Amino acid sequence: MSLRLNIIVAACENQGIGINGELPWRLREEMKYFSRMTKATTSSGKQNAVLMGRKTWESIPAKFRPLPGRVNVVISSRAKDPGAEFNGSTVCGSFKEGIQELQNRTDEVESVWAIGGSSIYEIALESEHLHRIYLTRILKNFECDTFLPSFDPKKFQIVTDPAVPDEMQQEGDIIYKYEVYEKVK
């Protein structure tokens, strides 16, 4: 059975997604949205998987990882390093290996969410399995050192998803909106 891959990412106006190994902003409701979207399944008895780079894994406070209710897959060249701290996750040596691992687990895994960072998004954007990009557009500039790779808007169409609020969101002085892009077949 074919694997369905979605990207979920929050980016500010300069396409920034991170700084110093952390998020550049604190958006509690947006975090809840991330959690809700990546957990939601249609078939009971299945979970989704979150696929992430090693630095994104490390950016999650130890007490909150693995992300609960989801199969956590971390991509790292340190997959076989006994000193590495990957408790509660499956570690794979490449994105392709991660996808293969999850393809073998479609009886327990419904969808795969690529949750960052930059290099994982870059590969996911080119993946034959890519279905949608769930992009939170933050309408503000933040200083960042990590960025969302650009994607060709001609290859995607904006769609609505009943699970995604379509009105503008605001937390403190930060205004943002949720967008969903679907790959054109």
Q: How far apart are CA 162 and CA 164, in angstroms?
A: 5
* Size of site (CB under 6 A) for ligand NAP: 28
Q: How far apart are CA 62 and CA 58, in angstroms?
A: 8
Rule CB under 6 A: say whether 105 interacts with ligand NAP: no
Name the one range near ligand NAP by CB under 6 A: 48-56, 105-113, 153-161, 168-176. Answer: 48-56
Kindly calculate the radius of gyration of the chain based on its CA atoms and give it in whole angstroms.
Answer: 16
Rule CB under 6 A: say whether 127 interacts with ligand NAP: no
- Minimum CB separation of residue 149 from ligand NAP in Å reads 10
Rule CB under 6 A: say whether 66 interacts with ligand NAP: no
- Minimum CB separation of residue 43 from ligand NAP in Å reads 26
Residue tagged 């293969």 (tokens): 100
Among 5, 7, 17, 109, binds ligand NAP (CB under 6 A): 17
97 as an active site residue: the answer is: no
Q: Which residues pair with 135 in a beta bridge?
A: 9, 179
- Minimum CB separation of residue 107 from ligand NAP in Å reads 26
- Spatial contact of 156 and 181, defined as CB atoms under 8 Å apart: yes
Among 53, 71, 99, 169, binds ligand NAP (CB under 6 A): 53
Neighbours of 21 (CB within 10 A): 12
Comparison of 24 and 109: residue with beta carbon closer to ligand NAP: 24
Q: How far apart are CA 6 and CA 181, in angstroms?
A: 10
3 as an active site residue: the answer is: no
Rule CB under 6 A: say whether 98 interacts with ligand NAP: no
Q: Burial-class residue 133 by CB neighbours within 10 Å (0-12, 13-18, 19+).
A: buried
Structure-block tokens of residue 183:
């790959």
Residues that bind ligand NAP (CB under 6 A): 9-10, 17-19, 21-23, 52-56, 59, 75-78, 93-95, 115-120, 146
Give the residue numbers annotated as catalytic, written as ranges. Answer: 23, 30
